[in-house]
Structure 1
Amino acid sequence: MRELESNLQKAVAADLANQNRDLEAKRKKRNELLQLKRMQIEANQVDEINKKEVETISNKFYDQMTDMDKHVEKDVDREVRNIMTRVGPGKEEALIVVNEAFDDLLERKLKILMSKQFSDLTMYLGSMNKKAATEQMIRDRKIELKFKALKDTTLREQLPEAELAEKLQIMEAEKELELQLSSQKGNHDREEREQ
C-alpha cells in the first residue's frame, strides 16, 4: 500500500513538474512573440516619427524663411522708395545695386534650401536604414524561434543519439542558411533603398 502511495505521489510530482515545464515554455514563447510584435510596431513607427520630425523641422524652417523674406522685402522696399524720392543723378545705379543685393540674397536662400533638402534626405535615409535594420532583426529572430521550436520538438522525439545528433546538425545548417539568406535580403533591400 505504501509503495502504491509512493508511486502515486511520484507520478503526481512528475506530472506537476511536466505541467510547470510546459507552462514555463509557453510563457517564454508568449514573451518572445510579444517582443517580436513590439519590434514590428517600432519598425512601423519609424516612418511616422521621421515624417513628423521632418514636418516639424520644415515648418520651423519655412516660418524662418517667411520672416526673412518679409524682412528683406521691407528693407528693399524702403531702399527703393529712398532711391526713387532722390533728386538728381544716380537713381539707376542705386537701383542696380539694390537689385544685385537682392539677387545675392536669393542665391543665399537657394543654398539654404539645398542644404535643407540634403538634411531632409539624410534624415529620411537614416530612418530607412534604421527600419531596414529592425526588419532584419525581426526576420532573424523569427528564424531563431522557428528553429528553436523545431529543436525542442526533435529533442522530445527520443531518437537514438546518432540520429538525433545528425538531425540537429542538419537543422543547424538549415538555420545558418536561412540567416545568411535573410542577411543577403537585408543588404539587397538597403542597397535598393539607397538608389
Structure 2
Amino acid sequence: MIKIPETLKSFSSTPSLLLVAGTSGARFFVVSPTGLTEVDSFFIDKPKYSDNEGFFVRSGGGKRFGSGSVKVENSNELLSRFVNSFADRSKKLINSYKYLNKVFLFVPSHLAPIVRSSLPKDAKNKLVAVISGNYLKFHPLDIAKKAWNSTINTGTRLTSETASKLLNRKFLNFRRKK
C-alpha cells in the first residue's frame, strides 16, 4: 500500500478504481482514504519465434503477390486474448469492490474503443474519465495524479457522445420565429 500525499487527499476521499491498460498487459489499483493499492495485474507474453517460422509466399501465374509470416497475423489473436482477460478481471474487481464510486480508465488511444466496450456495465456507469496513453510502467502515484488532474479539468462525469454534442451547441432554438 502506498500512502497518498496531502495534495491528493481530496481525490482519495472517494474510493476509486484505476484501470491501467497497455498493449500487452494491465494493472488495477484501488484508491481509498487509507492509500493506493495494486489489487491485480496481468501480462500476456508475445510468442517468440526462433526464425521465420510459418513464412509463406503468395504467388500465382508466375507473379509474386506478396510474402509474409504468420507471426504478423497473430496480433489480432493476442489482442482478443488481452481484451478477454481485461474484461474478466475488471468484472471480478467491480463485483468484489462494490463500494467504489469512480472508475478511471488509462488506455492507449488505438485500444480505447475496444477496451471501453469490454468493460462491465457497472464499470461503464461509474466511468469518470478515459485518459489516453500507455501508463503501464508509470509509478502508481503518477497515475493517481493524472486521474486527479482529469477530474479537475473535465468535471466529474463522462457524458455520452450525444449529450456532449448537445452541450457543445452554441444555442438551442426550439421555437422558430418567421
**Length-normalised TM-score, structure 1:** 0.26
Q: Whose helix proportion is higher, 1 or 2?
A: 1
Q: Whose strand proportion is higher, 1 or 2?
A: 2
Rg comparison, structure with higher value: 1
| Greater RCO (Cα-Cα under 8 Å, separation 6 or more) | 1
